[in-house]
Structure formats: structure tokens, C-alpha cells
Amino acid sequence: MTSSNSLRGKVALITGAGRAGGIGASIAEKLATLGCRVVLTDIAETGMGLGDKKELETRCAEIMNALESIPNAEAGSVSSAICDVTQEDSVAETCAEIYRTHERLDIVINNAGIGFLMASLMDVSLEDWDRVLNVNLRGPFLLTKHAAPLMIRNGQGGRIINIASQAAKSGFPHASSYVSSKHGLIGLTRVSAIELGEHGITVNAVCPNHITTGLGSWQNSYFSDLLGQSEEAYLAAMRERIPLGRPGKVTDIASMCGFLCQDEAGYITGEAINVSGGEEMH
């Protein structure tokens, strides 16, 4: 994948970017190194899988420190905002404030997601079902709805990238709400690509396989217990079924997002791109 200066000065909004070692933070750093002004958002609420305000501010500081040694990055190119992607008022105000501050919004990465509410299909509560669907599907819908008009106002096109999952292509036990939300996200990606294409806005989904972030570590423990295996045996079996021999890394996803945001990827839209080391091939 080639790199260029096509992202210099563009503004990128990344949701769910407050967790240490998370996909969102890695994407933010990647886009910042490519010259973007990035705005990290999270819900600012403590709890499993959620980034609080202090974590969000810490991620910004870490990225700014990393940028000091990267000549392509612009000074002051990282900031943060609190955004609850399940609430339309919060999403609308976040997008509007970014536009007021930067006078443009070019890129949205819908990364915020919930993947820790696991239960068998017959044991899933309606509350948990709704919570997962609200974050994983309603959130990207709301961000697309409110960001697209701002991109259109710019008149320079834009990029919307939805972080889906291998679960957007295949089913997994004890993950009915998660799998359903990610399959739905592919549908949203395709419709958005069709409707926004005339404005030069591309919309794609990136589908990682398992990545051992903080949330991924919790999933390792859950599924190894479910299968009656040690976590070591569970991970060994995972490596064996992946042609490239390892689970994904956050940087794998960040690199794909960086490519999709650049001019070289301007003719790619409506796609659900696997980044899975060959584990998922459809």
C-alpha cells in the first residue's frame, strides 16, 4: 500500500478511540501520521469495553508524543470529544462542533462497538440485545446520517469506514446480538455507498478476525471456558486455522483504514474487506 500526502490537513473523526491498545487509538495514530487532524471520541463512561474521559485524554497525549518524531504529521493534529454514539443529539452536536472548529469533516471511522455481552441465544436479554445493536449499528447509522451532509457541504467527497468484523461474514455461538449487528453493518455500508457515491463519498467496511485487545483478552477467556479448553490451547487452535499463523493486530486494521482514506482508494466503495490473515475469505 502506498502512502501519499493526500490526507494532509483533512479532518477525521474516530469513535470508540479511548481504550489503551484499542483499534480506534491505533487508527487515530495512523491517520495522524498521514497528516490528518484527528478527533478521538468515546463515551466517557467507565466499565468493560468503554473508554472514560481520562483514558481518552491519555490516548491523545500518547499520540501527540508519538507524532513528535514523525515529520509528516501536523502540530496540534490530535484532539478529543465526548460522544455517545447511541444518542442522536450527542452525535449531531459532535459532528457540528468538529465542523465549526475545523471548517470541514472529511473522514469518519465508525469504530465504537460492544463485543462483551455474550450468552446463548435463548438466554440473551432484550436489554443486552438492544445495547449491542444500539452501539454497533445505530451508532454508525447516526454518524453517517450527520457527517455525510457536512462532507457534501465541503464539496470534496469523503470517506466513511465502518469497523465490522469476521462476525459480519460468519456466525459464532453465544454472539447472536454481536453477529446480527455486524451483518447489519455490512448492509448499512452498501446502502450508504450507493446513496453517497454521487457526492464522491466512499463507504467501506473493514472486517478483522480476532484481535487480542483488552476486549479480545476477555473474549479469549470466555470462549476457552465455553469450550472447556485452556486459554493457551484455544489460542493455539486459533493460530492453526489462520493461514498466516497469527491473530490480527490493531496495526493491521489501522493500515487498511489509512489506505482506504487516501486518493489511491478513491474507486473502492461498498466493500466489506477482510483483514484476517486468510481466515475469512468471502
The catalytic residues are: 178
Three-state DSSP class for residue 173: coil
Residue at grid coordinates 490480527: 248
Q: Which three cell numbers, joined as nine digits, stand for 118?
A: 455474550
Q: Which three cell numbers, joined as nine digits, stand for 242?
A: 489462520
Nearest Cα to 211, choosing from 258, 268, 276?
276
In order of 21, 40, 262, the CA distances from 16 in angstroms are 12, 8, 22
Q: Are 86 and 139 in contact, with CB atoms under 8 Å apart? A: yes
In order of 16, 23, 214, 216, 230, the CA distances from 210 in angstroms are 17, 12, 12, 7, 17
Separation between Cα atoms, residue 11 and residue 95, nearest integer Å: 11
Strand 11-14: give its sheet, edge to edge: 78-82, 37-42, 11-14, 107-110, 158-163, 201-208, 272-275
148 φ/ψ angles, rounded to the nearest 5 degrees: -55, -45
Three-state DSSP class for residue 212: coil
Q: ∠ at Cα 273 (33, 59), nearest 5°?
A: 35
